[in-house]
A and B are shown apart, each in its own frame.
Chain A
Amino acid sequence: MTKSKNGPGTELLGSDSSRRGFLKGTAAVTGGLAGILATGVAPAVGQERELKMLVNSHFVPAADAELKRQLEEFGKAEGVKVRFDRVAHLQLPAVLAGEVQGQKGHDIISTRDGNAHLYSKHLVNVDDIYEKIGAAGGGWTNNEFGKGRDGSQKTIPWYFISFPIAIRTDLVAEIGENLPDTWDDVLRIGTKLKAKGHPVGIQLSHGADSNWILRGMLWSWGGKMVEADSKTVAINSKEAIDCMKFVASLYKDAMQPEVLAWDDRNNNVCLASGKCSMILNPVSAYRSAVRDEALIQGTDRPVHQVINHIMPPKGPAGRHMAAAHQSVGIWKFSKNVDIAKKFLEYHFAPANAEKHLQASAGYNQPLLKSNALHPLYASNSKYYFAPFIGWYTHALGWPGVPTAAAQTIWDQYLLPDAAAAAATGKATPEEAIKKLEKQMTRIYKRFNK
């Protein structure tokens, strides 16, 4: 599926040149009309440079608005045209793959976790601006992040998204419990609250939340997907199986089957509608409850007043949670690498970066040390957790680094599938882990080559 130019295997189908010749014929016949008409539609090429940026739709729309404003401001100052495109977050992998395949698309793209490693050879080296931005911002909190396969910096870390528990404090108080501190507490309180019609809501499905939360749980039990070398699959362990067993009992006692069909929105809706007692989610769940003025059923009381955030629970091996790491990179095929780099410097300059952070209303969490204790987090008592949750969160691929293989396993939702199988009894926890190990080994084999 690589382009015909770099697809070494195409000889098999006939020589590369004959295939090209054949296709050229096609293009001539079928494209004739298209060509004539396209000239009227396609934007004029050459004259003016256009800087195109693609991000996944921010969960707090004001953040996108601020970013767009900065891009336009930059465009005006530099005398270049700019274009700001957004795509739904679960569509991003497909869009990036499409641009890589066609070697055409945007200049600056927002990337996730292992994308820098996955698309290593398609991204521009940004070591120079990485250093500069880091120096201006008091240093990076994590220097492992955004590296390509050759060890150079391929993307600039942007922000991370953490998963605290968002919990209905009133419901917990009603049954005379304290807020949960460990996963066992979650199970105990969740079981009691489910009996009262307020289940726990953790997705076991093809969604980002599910992928992150389950990784956090696995680590809290002492399990890991991969060794610290980022190459050896280490999922098949007693700890991982114990974790799956716990997921199964949590599913059975404290959750409803709907979590199998949920996407990233359903848990927020479940909390805001007054049904769910607790979910693990970034602050966007709370933010949308505030924005939609959702009420507690049968009362006039806004539900956001009784929602609070607490640290992710502790497991047998301590308190660990995964965090999504967003970053930005520049495609190698871009014709505007110089301007793109300039814009990244502009956006990451302390004043602008701070505005973007502010606009995200606590959703974006900084990866630059200077912003770690931003006044924003003191502005609302419900954000108190934010400056400290970083102590417990890890990036994809931990204890290794975010790699192409880790990202591919994330993109394929292999862990949520295993957890769902174990939870519903479709497979025993041992079988589910064994199968996951097999699938992971196949993918690591490809990328370890």
Chain B
Amino acid sequence: MNSSVSMTTGGGAAVAENKVPLWRRRKAMANYIALLPYLAFALFPFYIIFITSLKSKQEINNLGKSPFWTRGIEWENFTFLWTDTVFFEHWMINTFIVTTVSTIISVSIGILAAYALARLRFKGVEAFGVAVFITYLVPQTLLFLPLVDVINFIDDFIPIRDTYWSLILTYPTFLIPFVTWLLMGYFRTIPFEVEECAYLDGCTRLGALFRVVLPMAIPGIICAILFSYTLSWNEFLYSLVFIQDEHAKTVSVGVFTELIRGDIYFWGSLMAACMLGTVPIVILYGFLMDYYTSGLTQGAIK
């Protein structure tokens, strides 16, 4: 709400700088004004999460007062996360590890598969392409029940049950099809001649892939990494089903299952946790958004 207000004034000032005809300026203003409801719609919940995280318990429970503003800033919700939960020392760190490792695994495997699909000619390559697409249609919804069994089985040999390793093992199932599909589109945009030169210089297949193709595909790969990162950071169902140990939980599930306890709620600390859990991914986007949008559209449209 607040930011949207500052937004318009910023927009207005920027428009005023230009020496353009008045009618054109009016029309431009109209565009900005028409965008305002969208912006308010997109940011409203973030504002509520933010403002509620700063309120004291008593203020949250005071239903007569406007819920959109706070009288004072209280840090008790944040300190509660520190003293009464393992939000920072486990949930955040687990999420970070799971996301990073499964992204690395998925993008590596995805690069190989996408390269083969985009460049190489061998029998069954088309069937493999279709298979990648179909695995995309097998939703997590269908797999989480049997996967519990698979994880319990693997647990007999390697202790992965109720640890974040079970997530690292399973997240690639929904990441790899997407990464493969995205990178396949990207690799196809790279001219084959470049690669041919590398072969003439005596490069092996892998050498050509690493020295020539990958450097040219960096925006696409960053996009794939970002996408995997977001998808795993967002993941909820597997984490909810596979992890019961409080210390092995990820942020989304930890907040959902551990902060809503007893028959009283901790709205303040719940919102504080929601905010802190969102911040890392938002910062990542702040830096890499351009890759995200360009890579996404390259991969998705081509």
B150 in contact with A41 (CB, 8 Å): no
- Asked if A104 lies at the interface with its beta carbon under 8 angstroms from chain B, I say yes
The residue on B at minimum CB distance from A92 is B244
- Asked if B121 lies at the interface with its beta carbon under 8 angstroms from chain A, I say no
Interface residues of B (CB under 8 A from A): 57-58, 61-64, 105, 145, 148-150, 152-155, 157-163, 165, 168-169, 244-246, 257-258, 260-265
Which of A42, A89, A284 meets B163, CB within 8 Å?
Answer: A42
Which of A20, A31, A58 meets B160, CB within 8 Å?
Answer: A31
Interface residues of A (CB under 8 A from B): 1, 3-4, 20, 23-24, 26-27, 30-31, 33-35, 37-38, 41-42, 57-59, 61, 85-89, 91, 94-95, 98-99, 101-102, 104-105, 209, 264-265, 268-269, 272-275, 281-282, 284-285, 288, 292-295, 297-298
Question: B62, B158, B168 — which one has the most chain A CB atoms within 10 A of its CB?
Answer: B158
Contacts of A285 in B (CB 8 A): 263
> A85-B246, A86-B246, A265-B265 known; A298 and B64 CB under 8 Å?
yes
Which of B145, B168, B244 meets A105, CB within 8 Å?
Answer: B244
Docked CA distance A27–B155 (Å): 9
> A27-B154, A95-B244, A292-B61 known; A1 and B145 CB under 8 Å?
yes
Counting residue pairs across A and B whose Cβ atoms lie within 8 Å, the total is: 121
> A284-B264, A292-B61 known; A99 and B244 CB under 8 Å?
yes
A297 in contact with B244 (CB, 8 Å): no
Contacts of A3 in B (CB 8 A): 149, 152-153
Main SS of the interface on chain A? helix
Question: A35, A98, A272 — which one has the most chain B CB atoms within 10 A of its CB?
Answer: A98
B155 in contact with A102 (CB, 8 Å): yes
> A102-B162, A294-B61 known; A23 and B150 CB under 8 Å?
yes
Shortest distance from the beta carbon of A40 to any chain B beta carbon, whole Å = 11
Question: B152, B169, B244 — which one has the most chain A CB atoms within 10 A of its CB?
Answer: B244
Docked CA distance A292–B152 (Å): 43
Shortest distance from the beta carbon of B59 to any chain A beta carbon, whole Å = 11
Docked CA distance A349–B202 (Å): 80
B263 in contact with A104 (CB, 8 Å): no
Which of B61, B145, B154, B158 meets A272, CB within 8 Å?
Answer: B61
Shortest distance from the beta carbon of B33 to any chain A beta carbon, whole Å = 37
14 residue pairs bridging A and B, Cβ less than 8 Å apart: A3-B153, A23-B150, A27-B157, A31-B158, A34-B168, A38-B160, A85-B245, A104-B155, A265-B265, A268-B263, A269-B265, A284-B262, A292-B264, A297-B64
A89 in contact with B153 (CB, 8 Å): no
The residue on A at minimum CB distance from B60 is A292
Which of A1, A27, A59, A89 meets B148, CB within 8 Å?
Answer: A1
Question: B63, B245, B246, B258 — which one has the most chain A CB atoms within 10 A of its CB?
Answer: B245
> A1-B148, A285-B263 known; A24 and B157 CB under 8 Å?
yes
The residue on B at minimum CB distance from A83 is B247
The residue on B at minimum CB distance from A20 is B153
Which 8 pairs of residues, A with B, have the shortest CB-CB distance? A57-B261, A88-B261, A264-B263, A59-B262, A95-B244, A31-B158, A288-B264, A35-B158
Contacts of B158 in A (CB 8 A): 27, 31, 34-35, 38
A31 in contact with B157 (CB, 8 Å): yes
A98 in contact with B61 (CB, 8 Å): no
Contacts of A274 in B (CB 8 A): 63
Docked CA distance A219–B156 (Å): 47
Which of B145, B149, B169, B257 meets A34, CB within 8 Å?
Answer: B169
